[in-house]
Amino acid sequence: MMARSAARSAGYDWRDAIEGEENQYDEYLDTSDEFKITDKGVLDLADDVHIASSLTIGETSMTTDGVYVGGTTSLTNDALTVQDSALTNDTLVLGGTTLATHNSETGLITLDNVAQGTISEDLHQAITGAQLYPIKTQVDNNTAAIGVIGEVVNAQGQAIQGLSSEIQSVRNESAEGDAMTASLAALNPLPYAEGERGQIMAGVGTYKGKQAMAVGYAYAPNSDQQYTVGLSYGQGGKAMANMGATFRIGSGETTKPGSSVAAVQSKVQALEAQNKTQQAKFDEELATKQSQIDAQNDRIAKLEALVQQLVQR
């Protein structure tokens, strides 16, 4: 029996301790302070049992180094080993394959040689790095693509912002140009007058909130030629200028150099004086005619009275 074998291993034979058949059921054989063996082969251990070097029970042996069972299982200070599996302070090996490794420097545990888990809604299996690597690669590619797209979008945004700024600048320049054009259009020289060959002109223009001012000069050496120059300055600091020349042409009678507005006015005054003279003559003739008409009307009235008298007789 196992108890007897344990006793023999400890150096005690329970059969040698029995003195007679009469006490084999009512006495314990006091073999030591740590254990007792009854005559029934029962090993009664104390609370603390100390073994000097080893204890072997069947295929199980206990030594100061550890516990060994059947040559395939052991428990020592370094590891728990069961056939090809072992658990140490830093490593877990199952079936000869290292499953987990503990890094004493970082305090982290790495799981290795794990089978790929099945991805399913109803399963709760671990996913390996090999399964996540394609996803990580795709995520990295997507991140890089998103970065490129972000750079393109940022560049497009900057381009659009620059284009908007340029469009607004063009609008402002266009409005200012229209205002300067309007101010130049306000420069209108007076008709040619004898002795007044030069003229100074000024004008202002406005368009869509932009204002401009223009000054100009017109020179007419005679009634058949005229030269003009104008300069406009806008509120945005830009300037616009123009120059022009006008020539009188045609196959008709050319106005003589001596003719001018003053000559025309003189002729008008002469015509007015002549008209007054003719009007006086006309009034005089009209008064004469009116006197003749009045005299004829008087004679007719007298004749009518005479006829009336003759009729009454």
Q: How far apart (Å, rounded) are the C-alpha atoms in residues 26 and 20? A: 11
Per-residue pLDDT of the chain (313 residues; tens, 9 = 90+): 344 444 444 444 444 444 444 444 344 444 556 666 666 667 676 677 676 777 777 888 888 788 888 888 888 888 888 888 888 888 888 777 776 787 777 777 777 777 777 888 887 777 878 888 888 999 999 999 999 999 999 999 999 988 988 898 888 889 999 999 999 999 999 988 878 889 999 999 999 999 999 999 999 998 889 999 999 999 888 899 999 999 988 765 555 554 566 677 788 888 888 888 888 888 888 888 888 888 888 888 888 877 877 777 6
Domains defined for the chain, CATH in brackets: 83-113 (no CATH), 124-249 (3.30.1300.30)
Give 214-218 contacts, CB < 8 A, sequence gap 24+.
214/180, 214/183, 214/184, 214/186, 214/187, 215/187, 216/184, 216/187, 218/187, 218/189
Q: What is the pLDDT of residue 22?
A: 47
- In Å, how far are 193, 216, 262, 265 from 226, measured between CA atoms? 12, 13, 19, 22
> Does the pTM exceed 0.85?
no
Quick one: pLDDT at residue 313? Answer: 63
pLDDT recorded at residue 261: 65
Residues 6 or more apart in contact with residue 137 via CB below 8 angstroms: none
Q: Quick one: pLDDT at residue 32?
A: 59
The CA-atom distances, in angstroms, between 221 and each of 193, 197, 227, 257, 274 are 10, 6, 9, 10, 33
**Residue 226's pLDDT is what?**
94
